[in-house]
Amino acid sequence: MKIPALDKNGVQHGWKTAHRNEWQLENLGVKGIDRISSSSKELVLNSAEMIKKQQLQMRNFSQIKQSMIQSEQKVKIGIRLG
């Protein structure tokens, strides 16, 4: 696994290879792990905005699907006639 190689100032100057068991976790004993989930990252999936977005994506998908099917049918017709 490649991870960024940092100098003393915290600036990346390349990449180094590390194995999973070589990760260094700093100050977890002092600070502890923040287990409080941020509400800003939560998505409300049944909101009106998300439903509209999903419907728009489904409509776009259906249009692209129809155009692909039509182009494949044109190619098949061209092969039969040719």
3-state helix, strand, coil in the chain (%, to 5): 55, 15, 35
Give the pLDDT of residue 24: 65
CA distance 5 to 17: 9
Tens of pLDDT, residue by residue over 45-73, are: 888 999 999 999 999 999 999 999 999 88
**Residue 15 backbone dihedrals phi, psi, to 5 degrees:** -125, 150
Locate the domains of the chain by residue range. 2-25+44-81
Tens of pLDDT, residue by residue over 1-39, are: 788 888 888 888 888 887 776 566 666 666 666 677 666
Q: What is the mean pLDDT of residues 68-81?
A: 81
